[in-house]
Each structure stands twice: as C-alpha cells, then as structure tokens.
Amino acid sequence: MLGVSRLDMLLDLQKPVSTSSAQEFLALADRRAQGEPVAYLVGEKEFYGLSFRVTPSVLIPRPETEILVDYVLGRTAAIPKYIADIGTGSGALAVTCACQLPGSYFVATDISRSALRLAHVNAQKHGVADRIIFLESNLVDAVQCQEVDIFLANLPYVPASRRTEMNREVIDYEPHGAIFAGEDGLDTYRELIMKLAGRVKRGALLLCEIDFSQGLAVRDLFAGISLEVQVIKDQALHDRVAVVVF
C-alpha cells in the first residue's frame, strides 16, 4: 500500500501512514478475511524467481508448475527452437522459459483475450515479448504443430468430483474454467489429444501438469499417439507431470 520495500518500511517504522492508505489497507484486509487470495489483492505472484502480474481472469501460478520449467531446462539435448505454451494464462511458463532460453521462440495460446493481454504485459515486463507470439486459440487450433519441439500444457485437470474438497480461496475466486475438466479431470487433455493426432513431428515432447490421481490414466490416454509416456513426481512424491514423447 505504501509503495516501499519491506526493508525501507522497517528502517522507517516511525513514519506516519496517511489516513487514505490506512483505509485502503483495511479494505484489503477485509477482502482477505473473506478468503480472497493475496495474489489477487496485491496483483502479483512470484514464479520461478520472477514476479508475474495476476488478476482474477487467470489462475494463480503454483510452485508445482515449476517442475515443467525444470524439465525443459534440465534436458541435455539441443536447445529447443520452438516451444508452445498451451493455455498460457498469466504467461508464467512461456515467459519464464523465454527468460531462461534466449535462443528459443515461443507461441502462447489461450481462449481468453483478457488472459492473453495479461500474459503479454508479463512478457513485456520481463523483456521477452519479441520472442513470444500470443494467439487466441482453443488449445492448438492456431498452432503450426509440426514446427514445435516442446509443448507445455498446464490445462484444467481437477476432477469435478473434487470440487467440495478444495479450499474457499480457489472455489470462490479463481476461474473454474482453468481448474476443472469433467468428472475425471481429463476432458481437456482428451480434446488436446484429438487436436495433436497426426500433427506432431517425431521427437517432439508434450509436458502436461496432471492431478496426483491421473498418472496411469494419462499413460493410457496418450499411448495411442506417442512413443512413450513418463510420469514425474513432485516433492510430495505425487504424480504431477506427464512427459509424452512423440
């Protein structure tokens, strides 16, 4: 609210706070007490050491999604030339990878124009907008898939049956279209499979974030259009990312 760093605030604790700033702070505190996520209140969220602008039009970036970035950066093969971020949201994956891979080029898709505008703002903020093309698209409809080396997909994957188990911050404030995907949570990935079939070059990879309950089901889903499917666990030893090799 004060527009100063935490350190500056601690060094000048006796500085008076204006009435308007105090009132605005109390208003935010009241919204937080109602369950609104802090990221939406302050308008930003840290991801892979970078700060991303977020609004209620996009899902708040999660630490577990950083596994996808780790996998891309940890590959010993040649640096990928073209990477597609499907369902980019805030642009966290595309922008982070673009910052880490200055020789790569990106396409980022989303069906939400407001999400794409926000992702573009984040790309500009981190100086990589010149290497990312933002497309309003249903999954890969507008993507030249044959040119892509790596597809990144943090798509909706939570089963609708788990809705009652999720905390109020998620259910009441984050966009449900970016979270839930049918009774088993795999409807969006089924659609993605149909759109990728026959359009992907040999050797391309697809990295998908998944629910902890979906490892075996995702292997079966992608078996028909891929050479291999690996499942990577997160720090809690839960299935979290599927690596599909075409």
Q: Are 227 and 196 spatial neighbours (Cβ–Cβ below 8 Å)? A: no
How many residues can be counted in the chain? 246
- Render each residue's pLDDT in the chain as its tens digit; 246 residues: 888 888 998 998 898 999 999 999 999 999 999 999 999 999 999 999 999 999 999 999 999 999 999 999 997 567 899 999 999 999 999 999 999 999 999 999 999 999 999 999 999 999 999 999 999 999 999 999 999 999 999 999 999 988 888 888 999 999 999 999 999 999 999 999 999 999 999 999 999 999 999 999 999 999 989 999 999 999 999 999 999 999
Residue 161 CA to residue 101 CA, distance in Å, equals 38
Locate the domains of the chain by residue range.
Answer: 56-245
What share of residues in the chain are helix, strand, coil (percent, to 5)?
A: 40, 20, 40
Cα–Cα distance, 135 to 33 (Å, whole number): 37
HSE of 29, CA atoms in CB hemisphere, 13 A: 7
Q: Which helix H or strand E contains 244, and what residues bound it?
A: strand 239-245
Q: What confidence score (pLDDT) does residue 76 get? A: 58
Domain at 56-245: CATH code? 3.40.50.150
The 8 Å CB, 24+ separation contacts for 66-69 are: 67/209, 67/232, 67/234, 67/240, 67/241, 68/93, 68/152, 68/154, 68/207, 68/209, 68/241, 69/93, 69/96, 69/97, 69/100
